[in-house]
Chains A and B, each alone.
Chain A
Amino acid sequence: MPTTTSRNSILALLLSVTILNTLVGCSASERPPNVHIVVLKGDPYERGFQHGQQLSAHIRSLYTKLLASSIMPFLNREQLNIAPVLPVYGQPEYRDGQFSYRMLLESGQYLYDNYMPESYRQELKGIADGAGMEFDQILILNTFVDTMLGFRAIVLFIQGIQDPFVSSIAFEGQLDSDSYDNDGDGQTDEQDEGVLDPYQPLTHAAFVEVPTDTSVRIVIEDVNLPGLACLDPRNAFPKGRMEIERRCLIDECILPSCRSKTLLDRDCLTEEAQSCIEPRLSSGCFKEDCLDLTDPGCVNPESVRLILDGQVFDATSDAVQTKLLPVEGDLPPDVDPNCYGPLEVLFRPPGGFRPASLLSLVIQAGDQSPIYSPEPYHNRFMRDERIVFTSAGYAASEGTAEFPYQVPNRGVWDPSARPPSLAFAVRGGATLDGSPLLAEHFALLDSDIVHQHSVLFLHIPDQGPAYAFLSWAGLVWGFSGMNDQGLTYAINYSDSLDNPLTGGILASVFEPEHLAELIKNPNLLGLSRALADTHLYATGLPIGIIGREILAHGAGVDSGIETIYRAGRTYGWNFLLADAQGNLAAVETDAASQFPETGSAPEPAQEDGFSFYTPDTGDPQNLDTYGRPWASLGPDDLRICAHFQKAADDMPELNLLGPFKPESQRFWSANYYRSLRAFYVLGDEISSHMGNIDVDGAIGILRTPDLVDTRDSMNACVYQPADKIINWAMGEVPATDLTFEPFDLEAAIQAGDGNP
């Protein structure tokens, strides 16, 4: 039996253990950082290996969450739209969820084999080895942006040629008798003074000094493009169901065992009927009377919405009236005669337009096509179109804005329209101390994932300058960076159909036998036959590697321009360059797929797919047709967004292709109008701080609410090229909400470990 002493000892021990463990076990977990600073030294393979080793789990996480569990499944849905036009992607090896992976890998492999310098190949291999991952995954991680943007552009193009569109806009009333040149064409009060036909997107106002008591007439049309090789059975009868009534299919497509049934599911159909990707079936199996409404070719009047300075007027509003206009000539086949034709929309706001005002009008409309896949169910909607105009008295009140080109198409704040990436650079008289600054807020794709994998890489190679760039785990590049000489770059995407993927399609189409087929069948079936063997391959240097090359091979803006000029481009991209001497330059590029000789002149030249400019107003190359700098307010500032300022006609005219003609950026890019707005708002902010911009001032400009994408913000930075300091903010969304952390590049290089 225990003694009293031993019992007391046991009690004391228990109490001690309890107290001790309670104290020791009390420390709470803390959130690990979303940002890492990684220093890489040695030859390319060594640096890659260090990269992979240090960030293995982060690389796996980024690949799995962003690609395997988000982007790839998302892109897989587009296979249904792509395969009927590019039949190779309907083959068995691309089915069962393999489409996006294989497409990204094949395109990445093509870039790797044909364009990627050996040093980067070694670096990628090093990452894969260091992280213990498959090389293909690292390759896709480093090339998917280039491929995906081009692919996205093609998807939008295919959708766009089937979407409704605005064909004309006209202001009714006394514009042809108000003694004003309302449309800025140099003529006053001519017939059709207030008519924009054909409609085209503008960077400036469509009209000025519009009478306040007028109506605006908008004509919206839809396109019916028949000939899809594969159709969704839900468009047949019974509508919305996966099974099909027996009477809707030809006998040759039904298995004999099922021919007595009245309702058929997929298992009852022949291989030929099922040759399309599930759930679609071969259109050749359908009888016409069950398919007449696959694509009615009709605008949906009920979907029309007009937004005037943020106020919404939908089809139920008294201010909006719609009317179907008669069609000239015969109706195309497979359209609904009850609704096919241009839709006229007459809009007159209650009380008329606000006098002496700058007004913004956004037009939204959809069609009546039942789209069951990709889900969710929807009709086709056109891109929001925006025009701005001034009402009578505005020019007098402002003392300017007599001509449309003087009024920017800025629009008004719309919480659903997220600002795109933007960057600006200032120097000299624009800044507080004369030192150059380059600032960027990059926003594209976060999905609540990417910001957790942010990295500032410092490369100290065996040869060449050391440099740093903002990036993410597993990537060998970033959208902005600076080298130890102070040469700094920032890159923004700028949508363009003049990209290698489209180029490959066009190359196929222009082969004589393919072109003949398309002329014979100017529909989607003809297009798919012309593209029977076409793959989507990106060509050129992956964009981030161009950034690396800029830093690795030069000290000044001129060398940066040279590097960009010589590199093949994978998409449309805008560059902003700055150096320690205060030189600034903007470069707008695309793949110039129709002009392979681009990039071969002895010196960088203004060519198709390559435009550059600086704030220097002494050079006419830096001025638009009105004598204004392309993207500057004065001699010491420059800015870029996600659209082309100078290279606005990025796509050559290819009228031969009829409805399949790829258009220039401004006609189709979903980023276009919001980039325009961001561009002008950014200009306003720079203007209001002109002469006083320092690092804090630049950060303040980046934080302007109208310029911040709160959904897909990825990183923000202010570079000081003269001082070799990078002020970075990343790891949260939006990045601009964070404190900008200074990183002294020179000190970090000397310290060799990323800790200056």
Chain B
Amino acid sequence: MSCKRHSPCPAWQCPAMLVILLAAAPAGAGFTETLPKDTFMLDETFVFSWIDSIWDNQGNQAPLIEPVVRYEPGGGKQGVIHARPVANYYIIINQLQYGLLDELSLGLGIPVVIKTRVTPNLSWETGDYQRQIGRPYSEQDFWDWAASMGQPKPTTWVGNLGTLSDMVIGLRYRFTHRMPKMRSLGLHAALSAYGMIPTGKHADPEEIMSIGTTLWDLHTQGDLAFHLSIEKDFERELDGRLSIGLDVFYEAFFTRTLTSATGKKHPLLLNQRPYVGEHYQVKPGDFSGVALEITGVPYRGPALATWLTKGSAEAAEALPPIVSVSVRYRFVHLQQTDWRSDFELWDWDHEKFWRPGYKNILDFKLTLSLLRLGVPAQIYAGYSTLNLIPGKNCRSAENLSVGLRVPLKIW
């Protein structure tokens, strides 16, 4: 006997955990999927992320850092420091989901940053002729000058080695589970809520090129999130080879208290504490938006009677297809982020990069499910980008991910 997501079925009656888990739906974490009761899912994802530009307030791509014009005190312009920093994140995301009920699942996400690298990629634009040295400042001249005052040239920063990010705990309730009319139409809807556990680390204020590991630093999701989702599977019309999902969401951030820099390592560039205050608050702008996902099955593959299905080929037929692909578009509206320190101008210097804006995110995913072949695993690879469709006041990150999902049933 197989259990399809759209047919209520007590978990203990199902002959195999994987049938219960994944029957009849294209593989991949859809907007409304829940685990059968008493079932675990372990999901391990490795993410490589890189960021080298932002979408500015005019919707144009720009470097992460504005050019810095440098002046000799009373001596005119020395030149302009141009920076095109590239930030790379290497992250392992550990997720464990548990089916409290067939229609209610609990999830815990534990992201761990393996490493973050920020490469400054500095270049120099010469300024005014400087009489006292008989030439304009070259890049080397400028950094020699700065070093003579205790300010080193920023170099590549590597940090966050094995550092925890904010953990996320979530609940999903698929309320169409007990609505047979909806299910008969292939429609599924769910409410999800996520909350952040602040285990991440803020950026070191004394480092010019550092980034933290909190959800705010990663800018992936809010501290508290609510999602309302609906999916349509074309089980009858297209033999389950297509599904379309829609998700609307609101994600809120809480105010953070951060510590200002004293200039210990960068005395000329990061000596802010005297006028910013020892601490300052950041209230990140909330997210809201909508996502649309289309999932297709280009290759269903053979269904083998294996130990997974207790020798039942019919049961295997209900398992997810071997190859499925999905495309997701997300529009995320970003509210204004507020800085609150002792000095309003310093606040503005940060807020101007975080004015109201939006992200246009495209996600592509390929899932290879080996369940039909008797292997209890799903492997997937994904690519996500903010670069293809212009955004506004956001970082244009790109991600590559690979992952492994393993369903488990302990009892």
Contact = CB atoms under 8 A, between A and B. Distances in A.
Nearest to B269: A69
A374 interface: yes
B343 A29 contact: no
Interface in A579-624: none
A381 B134 contact: yes
Contacts of B12: none
A378 B134 CA distance: 8
B29 interface: no
B343 to A, nearest CB: 4
Contact of A381 (B131, B333, B355): B131
Nearest to B147: A375
A418 B76 contact: yes
Interface in B339-391: 342-348, 351-352, 355-356
A711 B134 contact: no
Contact of B144 (A27, A61, A97, A376): A376
A366 B134 CA distance: 7
Interface stretch (B67-75, B235-243, B307-315): B67-75
Interface stretch (A169-177, A228-236, A440-448): A440-448
Given A27-B336, A29-B348, A375-B147, A21 B250 contact: yes
A293 B320 CA distance: 83
Interface string A1-36: 110000100110011011001100111111110100
Nearest to B343: A57
A711 B336 contact: no
Nearest to B335: A25
A528 B275 CA distance: 40
A68 B263 CA distance: 11
Contacts of A74: 72-73, 149
A18 B348 contact: no
A452 B175 CA distance: 56
A447 B134 contact: no
B289 to A, nearest CB: 9
Interface string B243-264: 0000010101000000000010
A364 interface: yes
A582 B303 CA distance: 103
A61 B73 contact: no
A31 B108 CA distance: 41
Nearest to A19: B288
B132 interface: yes
Interface residues on B, range: 35 or more
B286 A378 contact: no
A431 B3 CA distance: 95
A375 B145 contact: yes
Contact of A376 (B129, B133, B333, B346): B133
Interface string A644-672: 00000000000000000000000000100
B272 to A, nearest CB: 8
A26 B336 contact: yes
Contacts of A7: 175
A516 B10 CA distance: 110
Contacts of A11: 228
A69 B263 contact: yes
A736 interface: no
Contacts of B71: 446-448, 711-712
A373 interface: yes
Contact of A63 (B226, B250, B274, B351): B274
Interface string B4-31: 0000000000000000000000000000
Question: Most chain-B CB neighbours within 10 Å: which of A60, A73, A375?
Answer: A375
B268 A711 contact: no
Interface in A44-91: 56-58, 60-61, 63-65, 68-71, 73-74, 76-77
B278 interface: no
B296 interface: no
A15 B228 CA distance: 9
Contact of A73 (B138, B149, B288): B149
A711 B77 contact: yes
B269 to A, nearest CB: 8
B321 interface: no
B76 to A, nearest CB: 5
A61 B346 contact: yes
Given A373-B148, A381-B132, A416-B128, A25 B286 contact: yes
B343 A69 contact: no
B73 A69 contact: no
Contact of A29 (B147, B228, B342, B351): B351
B228 A22 contact: no
B101 to A, nearest CB: 11
A379 interface: yes
Contacts of A418: 76, 128
A30 B271 CA distance: 24
B126 to A, nearest CB: 11
A64 B134 contact: no
Interface in B170-192: 175, 178, 191
B407 interface: no
A17 B250 contact: yes
A514 interface: no
Given A25-B285, A27-B336, A69-B271, A14 B76 contact: no
Nearest to A152: B74
B149 A68 contact: no
A375 B144 contact: yes
A28 B191 contact: no
A2 B178 CA distance: 10
A378 to B, nearest CB: 4
Nearest to A59: B275
Interface in B219-241: 226, 228
Nearest to A133: B274
A376 B128 contact: no
Given A7-B175, A70-B73, A77 B344 contact: no
B74 A445 contact: yes
Interface in B268-290: 268, 271-272, 274-275, 285-286, 288
B343 A61 contact: yes
A61 B178 contact: no
Contact of A77 (B131, B140, B149, B178): B149
A383 interface: yes
B141 interface: yes
Contacts of B147: 375
Interface string A382-416: 01100000000000000000000000000000001
B73 A18 contact: no
Nearest to B252: A21
Contacts of B355: 28-29
A303 interface: yes
B345 A61 contact: yes
A65 B276 CA distance: 12
Contacts of B137: 376
Given A376-B138, A377-B141, 18 more contacts: A22-B335, A26-B336, A28-B356, A57-B275, A60-B342, A60-B343, A68-B271, A68-B274, A69-B271, A70-B268, A74-B149, A376-B140, A376-B142, A378-B133, A445-B73, A447-B73, A447-B74, A452-B345
What are the 3 tightest A-B residue pairs by CB atom distance, in nearest-first order? A25-B335, A73-B149, A60-B275
12 contacts: A14-B226, A25-B356, A28-B336, A61-B343, A73-B150, A73-B268, A74-B73, A373-B148, A375-B148, A378-B135, A381-B133, A711-B128
